[in-house]
């Protein structure tokens, strides 16, 4: 991972955790509103001493790996071609897996086939730019990282590589604690304890039935190159001659890519939707007392929420690195300046 990619990923993790925390606090407020419980102030930090309003404080106190999880799923290639029988990856979101399959099948139609295969055969690892259809040819032309010159001086384009890098599954424990003035402090007959217990009961019931919420999160590694490549694949599919054996399928792929772009690239940025799991867990008395002692404030009523959060999912998109290794009849020979390899024919031809 490059320093820039690392910075982008870690900044995204920080932003995600803030969003998750804010979303949970808003969720608790929404539960109280739907239950018509008034007078409770929901905050993400303990209220100042001497507050005359009852509060529900939603405060994280522990975070760690998901229970029983010793390792996460391995990176998975998203681009597949028809006939590929590899088992699906458990760490790959289904929408992105379908997107990779669409790109793979589109390249199956648009990209020259491997030597020895007829039209519609598996894509070659490289293709001469003058053999590519427009506008794909123009996209490759002039991109030094996506094309190389062969010994005959003609440039070739490289197939794309798209990998899903799974993140880490974490469990975050939240304390939902009630605090407030003594009974009658807010007026004759007032009893903040009843409001606090009603609020905690509503939160527990809603958490049991809803079991979480969905969160849309950006994918740091999916930059403008991926969006541009998707667009150029889509536009090139429109250029297939109606008499081509794959014309009908090309039209269908173009339609499905349009749908995928709306889901994965809204507002010209890459996203995926993550389910944030939510449930109630028991908070032992010893742990509750330890939290009260650490916070140095009394807690009148409390419960504990547990969130399951996925952090650090990422993509790697770029030119495939397999092209040079399979060049027939030619090989590299690094002599002198390593930045200027010398091409020599295999067998001295």
pLDDT in tens, 210-222: 888 888 887 876 7
- Relative to beta strand 314-319, strand 160-165 is antiparallel
Which is nearest to 201 in space by CA: 22, 19, 40? Answer: 40
Percent of the chain with pLDDT over 70: 81
The answer to whether the predicted template modeling score (pTM) of the entire model surpasses 0.85 is no
Q: What is the DSSP string of 228-262?
A: HHHHHHHHHHTTS-TTSTTHHHHHHHHHHHHHHHH
> So what's the pLDDT on residue 184?
42
Handedness of CA 235, 241, 245, 251 (dihedral sign): positive
Q: Which secondary structure element, helix H or strand E, spans residue 274, and what is its range? A: strand 271-281
Tens of pLDDT, residues 237-248: 999 988 888 899
pLDDT at 122 over 60: yes
Neighbours of 42 (CB within 10 A): 20
pLDDT for 114 beyond 90: no
Measured CA to CA, the distance from residue 302 to residue 176 in angstroms comes to 6
pLDDT at 136: 96
CA 180 – CA 183 distance, rounded (Å):
9
Average pLDDT over residues 112-124: 80
Taking residues 243-261, report their average pLDDT: 91
- Where do the domains of the chain lie? 3-321
Residue 202 has pLDDT above 90, yes or no: yes
Distance (Å) of CA 93 to CA 126, 220, 252, 320: 28, 15, 22, 22
Q: Which of 78-82, 122-126, 155-159, 315-319 has the lowest mean pLDDT?
A: 78-82
Task: Over range 268-286, report the average pLDDT.
Answer: 83
Among the ranges given (42-46, 94-98, 183-187), the one the predictor scored with the smallest mean pLDDT: 183-187
DSSP alpha helices (H): ranges in the chain?
3-34, 94-110, 136-140, 192-210, 224-237, 247-264, 285-295
Question: What does the alpha-carbon distance between residue 80 and residue 146 come to, in Å, rounded to a whole number?
Answer: 20
Secondary structure string (H, E, C) spanning 70-129? CCCCCCEECCCCCCCCCCCCCCCCHHHHHHHHHHHHHHHHHCCECCCCCCCCCECCEEEH
The answer to whether 298 and 47 have CB atoms below 8 angstroms apart is no
Task: Write the CB contacts of 75 (distance below 8 Å, at least 6 apart in sequence).
Answer: 163, 164, 165, 166, 316
Higher pLDDT, 183 or 273: 273
Position 157 confidence tier, pLDDT thresholds 50, 70, 90:
very high
β-pairing, 168-179 vs 301-311, is antiparallel
Band (67; pLDDT cuts 50, 70, 90): low
Whether residue 178 has pLDDT greater than 90 = no
In degrees and rounded to multiples of 5, residue 184 shows phi and psi of 90, -10
* Per-residue model confidence as pLDDT tens digits over 226-239: 999 999 999 999 99
Higher per-residue confidence, 198 vs 93: 198
- Residue 40 pLDDT more than 70? yes
């Amino acid at each position: 991972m490059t320093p820039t990619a690392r910075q982008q990923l870690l900044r995204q993790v920080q932003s995600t955790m803030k969003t998750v925390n804010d979303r949970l606090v808003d969720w608790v407020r929404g539960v109280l509103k739907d239950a018509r419980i008034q007078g409770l102030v929901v905050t993400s930090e303990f209220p100042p001493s001497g507050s005359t309003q009852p509060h529900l404080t939603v405060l994280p106190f522990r975070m760690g790996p998901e229970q029983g999880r010793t390792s996460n799923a391995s990176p998975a290639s998203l681009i597949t071609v028809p006939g590929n029988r590899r088992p699906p990856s458990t760490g790959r979101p289904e929408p992105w897996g379908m997107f990779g399959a669409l790109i793979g099948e589109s390249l199956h139609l648009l990209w020259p086939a491997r030597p020895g295969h007829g039209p519609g055969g598996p894509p070659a690892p490289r293709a001469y730019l003058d053999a590519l259809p427009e506008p794909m040819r123009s996209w490759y032309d002039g991109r030094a990282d996506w094309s190389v010159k062969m010994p005959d001086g003609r440039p070739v384009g490289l197939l794309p590589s798209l990998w899903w890098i799974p993140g880490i599954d974490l469990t975050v424990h939240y304390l939902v604690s009630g605090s407030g003035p003594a009974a009658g402090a807010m007026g004759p007959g007032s009893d903040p304890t009843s409001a606090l217990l009603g609020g905690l009961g509503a939160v527990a019931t809603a958490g049991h039935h809803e079991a979480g919420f969905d969160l849309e999160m950006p994918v740091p590694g999916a930059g403008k190159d991926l969006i541009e490549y998707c667009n150029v694949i889509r536009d090139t599919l429109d250029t297939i001659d109606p008499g081509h054996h794959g014309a009908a399928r090309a039209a269908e792929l173009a339609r499905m890519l349009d749908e995928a772009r709306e889901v994965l690239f809204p507002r010209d940025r890459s996203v995926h939707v993550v389910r944030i799991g939510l449930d109630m867990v028991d908070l032992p008395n010893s742990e509750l007392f330890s939290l009260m002692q650490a916070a140095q404030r009394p807690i009148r009523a409390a419960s504990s929420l547990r969130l399951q959060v996925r952090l650090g999912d990422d993509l790697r998109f770029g030119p495939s690195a397999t092209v040079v290794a399979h060049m027939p009849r030619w090989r590299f020979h690094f002599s002198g300046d390593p930045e200027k390899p010398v091409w020599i024919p295999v067998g001295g031809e």
